[in-house]
Amino acid sequence: MIKYVPGMTNVVLEEIPDRVTLAVDISNCQGNCIGCHSPFLKRDIGEELTHEKIAALIADNFGVNCFLLLGEGNDHSAVMDIARFIHDNYPGMEVGLYSGRTAVEDEIFDAFDYVKVGPYIESLGPLNSPETNQRLYHHKVDITARFWYKGLEKTRGEE
């Protein structure tokens, strides 16, 4: 069972490039990141993230085109089931997973459109820092550098 924290679910524009993303905080985090921005997510709190709750969240947030799990919780098979359910029932909806682990299994990359790996290390910074240890992949392609332009003017022809 995967638990999420109702009231902490938000539509965001900066977590996944070019996507209107429904970001869902997952509890029972197994990570131990020093400087974690959400240490309360280590606890067993919230409600089960069922197929019905996923459907309601998507229905209540018209216009989202990406469903993002902020964490893996402690039930691998339930995480995989969530990705399958969304892909099977919401064509065009992409699914993302933010993992604090340094590496994830190939089946995670196969199930999710976006996968972020790497624990938060304060001295290296988050995704928008060129020194970060964290990486965001889209279909197994590292797109982390897309965050590094934030606040900088791109020159013509840069991607």
Query: Which residues sit opposite 21 in a β-bridge?
Result: 12, 66
pLDDT at 151: 53
Q: Read off the CATH number of the domain in which 92 is found.
A: 3.30.750
| pLDDT of 152 strictly over 80 | no
Q: Is residue 155 part of a domain?
A: no
| pLDDT of 106 strictly over 90 | yes
Question: Which residue's structure tokens are 């969304």?
Answer: 86
Q: Which long-range contacts (CB under 8 A, 24 or more apart) does 141-145 make?
A: 143/17
> What tens digit of pLDDT does each residue of 23-53 get?
999 999 888 777 777 888 889 999 999 999 9
**CB-based burial of residue 23 (10 Å sphere; 0-12 exposed, 13-18 middle, 19+ buried)?**
buried
* Domain tally, the chain: 1
pLDDT at 103: 93
Collapsed DSSP state (helix, strand, coil) of residue 86: helix
Nearest 5 degrees, angle CA 10-CA 84-CA 64?
A: 30
For residues 31 and 12, which has the higher predicted lDDT (pLDDT)?
12
Residue 109 domain boundaries: 3-149
Q: If you average pLDDT over residues 110-120, what whole number do you get?
A: 96
Q: Is residue 108 part of a domain?
A: yes
pLDDT at 156: 41
Q: Is residue 84 part of a domain?
A: yes
**CB-based burial of residue 8 (10 Å sphere; 0-12 exposed, 13-18 middle, 19+ buried)?**
middle
Q: Is residue 159 part of a domain?
A: no
Residue 117's nearest CA partner among 146, 95, 137 is: 137
Q: Is residue 85 part of a domain?
A: yes
| pLDDT of 18 strictly over 50 | yes
pLDDT at 154: 46
pLDDT band at 150 (very low <50, low <70, confident <90, very high): low
Q: Is residue 156 part of a domain?
A: no
Q: Is residue 158 part of a domain?
A: no
pLDDT at 159: 46
Percent over 70 (pLDDT), the chain: 93
| pLDDT of 98 strictly over 60 | yes
Percent over 90 (pLDDT), the chain: 78
pLDDT at 79: 97
Q: Which two tokens stand for residue 30?
A: 């197994």
Q: Is residue 154 part of a domain?
A: no
> What tens digit of pLDDT does each residue of 116-126 get?
999 999 899 99
Q: Which two tokens stand for residue 153?
A: 């003017």
